[in-house]
Amino acid sequence: MKQIQKMIVSRIKVILIVSLFAGTVNLADSQRLVAQDGVYRFKATGGTSKISGKITEISPDGVTVADKLVPCSEIARVSFSREPSDINRARDQMETGRFSDAIESLGKIDVTKLTPQMKAEVDFIRAFSMAQSSLRGGGTTPQEAGGVVAKFIQEHPTSWHLYPAIEQLGKLYFAIDRTDLAIGQFAKLSQCSWPKYQLSGTLQLGILTIDNAADANAAFDSILNNNSNDDVTQLYKLLAKCEKARVAGLAGDPAASLSQLNEMIATENSDNKLLFAHLYNALGAVHQKNSNWKEARTAYLHTDLLFATEAELHAEALFHLSKIWAQLEETDRAAMARDTLKSRYRNSYWAGKL
């Protein structure tokens, strides 16, 4: 039976080849035999659907494939015709957080044989993986990663990965305490057309200017006044509401601030780990500002023990816990918080402040 099947497949291949050269197979049919580019688009019901065809244009705002413009905000990934398998392998590794493996896979690729589109993809995977590895305490320094990300932005200004790269560069600048440069990158994001990154940039602008209540509140209010009701916007509205309450508490109205933060903790879904790490860090900051050391400790411990998956916020909580434990004369616990911060987040802004 298997031998018969092989004979049939072989016969079909011969017919197709002969027909193609004889002109009896049309162009559309022949193109199906050729590898194509692909854009994987998020579906409203979950998962992705693939649009196959030739990619004719790529920009930070969208990718045109098969004469159809797909906004970057709707794209899960892009693949290219006849790209080396190691590109797709590295892409998978990057998306699943295996950043060292992704960089290793990229090292197996002969970049001299890549198209410009493939080269941009490889450069982004390397830049993003190095940035994330650094921010998560890997062996790459923020300065090294920042140099690679900045080079990607300079060499590929029309990449559909431009806005994610700008966000990473802003975070790397913050990690080395160059808040001025970080603000510049997040300001660019706040003006972009990709809603997720526009909201992220605006939120970060508010957080980085939190010592200036007027500037911070202007950023948070612009998020709260957004008319969109999608899930991403709703998340950022909650984050902005939380951080605006923090501003009020630090600026002289702790009672109203604590009331709002505690109300959000009581009513929002604690499965939203990002929101709750923000809430408990904000709660800790307001208590700390008013020398309520035990209450501040308890708030930051929630982030440390329950929401440590949020790396940047966990690093912030550990830094403040190291100071609060010392204030409460718990020297062993203060040392433990410092050691955890230095070992797990050694490249972070907060480890640099110890």
Helices (H), 25-84: 27-31
Main-chain phi, psi angles of 62, to 5 degrees: -175, 165
Q: Which one, of 173, 152, 176, lies nearest residue 60 by Cα?
A: 152
The pLDDT of residue 348 is above 90: yes
Buried residues in 99-119 as b, exposed as e (16+ CB within 10 A)? bebbbebbeebeeeebeebbb
User: What size, in residues, is the chain?
Assistant: 354
Place of tokens 């830049």: 127
For the residues 226-242, what does the mean pLDDT come to?
Answer: 96
The pLDDT of residue 89 is above 60: yes
Instruction: Compute the Cα dihedral for 6, 12, 17, 18 and give only its sign.
Output: positive
Instruction: Name the DSSP class of 35.
Output: -
- pLDDT at site 138: 87
pLDDT band at 34 (very low <50, low <70, confident <90, very high): low
- pLDDT at site 26: 42
Mean pLDDT (the chain) is: 91
pLDDT band at 129 (very low <50, low <70, confident <90, very high): very high
The pLDDT of residue 4 is above 60: no
Contact at 8 Å (CB) between 352 and 177? yes
- pLDDT at site 234: 97
pLDDT band at 18 (very low <50, low <70, confident <90, very high): very low
- Helices 231-250 and 195-208: crossing angle in degrees, nearest 10, is 10
Sort strands 75-79 and 37-42 into parallel, antiparallel or unpaired: antiparallel
For the residues 237-255, what does the mean pLDDT come to?
Answer: 96
Q: Percentage of residues in the chain with pLDDT exceeding 90?
A: 88
The pLDDT of residue 31 is above 60: no
